[in-house]
Amino acid sequence: MKKYCIIIILLLNFSSIAQKTNICANAACDSISKISHPELSLRKIKYEQVLEIYMKGQQNFRIAAEIIRIPVVVHVIHNQVSNAFLGTNISDEQVFSQIKVINEDYRRKIGTMGFNSNAIGADTEIEFFLANIDPDGKPSSGITRSFSSKTSFNIINDNDRLIMSNLSYWDSNKYLNIWVAPLSSGYIGYGEFPYAETVEGLETEATENLDGVYIDYTTFGKKTGTNTKGLYSFGRTTTHEIGHWLGLYHPWGDERCGTDYVADTPQSTGANSSAFCKDVFSTCAGTRTRNLIEDYMDYSPDSCMNIFTQGQKDRMRAALELSKRRRRVVNFAKFQLPPSSTLQAVIFPNPTISTNVQVQVLLPNFQDFEVKISDIFGREVYTESFSDLPSTIVTLKTKDLPAGNYFLTVTSNIQKVQKRLALF
């Protein structure tokens, strides 16, 4: 059993005043005090423990300001026999419009709907791009298209998500998979939550090939193709579900006055279920506060939303560091180099002097490796270890080494390769 939060919005009475009812339909949405699924609840508790320790270690500075870039693959699951860009076989333009929205929202871009002037509003410094290369290292548009005669998918059902994944899936250690399909039962989105694998006993993450985000084709993209009208036509369903993929809960913690483990989001009694952007107030623990209905993690109509808070930003960036699979996606994105069945190393610049040497290391999958530099007498002058990286480029701090001839050795778990290095 995996599962994760996520969810869900049910469209009711869509023809007149559109409303949505929020349903928390799976175990991960349980509060800790209402444990109904011991294994899942334990994971949630452990995840929060890991996050808390990490956050305390970061208390004197904001979590790294480096821009994190996430490669995305959009799997369009459609039932168009002719393969024409009709109905469920949404156009590339619709996909592009969605990628644009998530970047505006996560970067709080000035001049877009993703901007807010709220003091607690954050530029998460997380970006998304359609993957340039596929899992085999071949150039790609980052969009796949798969035919299925199945006309609707129930995303709360593992089997239905497995059907989608079996039609098209890219390694979730390297990509954020987004499946776009006709979803059933009123669900318009679903996102898998990250787990903290670094805690003893928590080695099991969500099943790899189901990890990602699932969006209904009528709420994907912004004002384009199959999503031109209604409460969810600005592309914020995907913003919300990726928030879950990055470890965010709903602001009300899926129970009355529950917690989302974020300090700067006001407590609320429940979801904003209004079809309008009017103020909503909650009284929790005797204090009346205004709900942050603009939060992407609420159930507000798309047009009301424009904020991730600083606290949510910190939490998402921590997830990208703490969840092994999320961290791997970030590391892969830095260079997007293809895997190699044999260990390879290319040094550049070489020869060089007074600059740091870089080494392109190609290897299979993800591995630990060590780089050593020895002089011509075999004396070791430099060693650095790297853990759990895909094919990558590492920068060595070599600019102060004396001029001379050296040997550079890269050793992985199973292979070793040696190159000459000249510092002149």
**Stretch binding Zn ion (CB under 5 A), from 3-11, 111-119, 179-187, 262-270:** 3-11
Query: Which residues does 115 contact at the CB level (< 8 Å), separation at least 6?
Result: 104, 108, 109, 306
CB of 50 vs Zn ion, minimal distance in Å:
22
Q: 134 or 298, CB closer to Zn ion?
A: 298
- Residue among 299, 298, 281 nearest 290 (CA): 281
Name the catalytic one among 104, 192, 205, 241: 241
Angle at 396 between CA 394 and CA 401, to 5 degrees: 160
Q: Least distance (Å) from Zn ion to the CB of residue 7? A: 5
Q: Which two tokens stand for residue 162?
A: 């497995």
Least CB distance from residue 30 to Zn ion, whole Å?
A: 14
**Coil, strand or helix: which one is 103?**
helix
Q: Which is nearer to Zn ion, 171 or 192 (CB)?
A: 192
380 is catalytic: no
| Dist. CA 236–CA 191, nearest whole Å | 13
Q: Report the nearest approach of Zn ion to the CB of residue 227 (Å).
A: 18
For residues 285 and 278, give the distance between their C-alpha atoms in angstroms, rounded to a whole number: 23
Number of residues that bind Zn ion (CB under 5 A): 1
- Report CA dihedral (221, 223, 229, 233) to the nearest 10 degrees: 40
Residue nearest to Zn ion (CB): 7
The minimum distance between CB 188 and Zn ion, in angstroms, equals 10
d(CA 380, CA 378): 6
Closer CB to Zn ion, residue 7 or residue 210?
A: 7
d(CA 296, CA 56): 25
For Zn ion, give the closer residue by CB, 191 or 266.
191
H/E segment holding residue 311:
helix 310-322
Neighbours of 341 (CB within 10 A): 10
Measured between alpha carbons, how far is 139 from 133 in angstroms, rounded to an integer? 4
Choose the stretch contacting Zn ion; rule: CB under 5 A; options: 1-9, 66-74, 90-98, 131-139. Answer: 1-9
- Nearest approach, Cβ of residue 273 and Zn ion (Å): 13
Q: What share of the chain is helix, strand, coil (3-state, %, to 5)?
A: 20, 25, 55
Which residue lies nearer to Zn ion by CB, 7 or 401? Answer: 7
CB of 280 to Zn ion, least distance (A): 17
Instruction: Concatenate the DSSP letters of all residues of 40-85 into one string.
Output: HHHHHHHHHHHHHHHHHHTTTS-S--PPEEEEEEEEEEE--TT--S
Nearer to Zn ion, 95 or 271 (CB): 271
Nearer to Zn ion by Cβ, of 258 and 390: the residue is: 258
Taking the C-alpha atoms of residue 337 and residue 353, their distance in angstroms, rounded to an integer, is: 26
Residue in 2, 4, 7, 94 binding Zn ion, rule: CB under 5 A: 7
- Interaction residues for Zn ion, span 149-208 (CB under 5 A): none
Give residues in contact with Zn ion (CB under 5 A): 7
Catalytic positions:
241
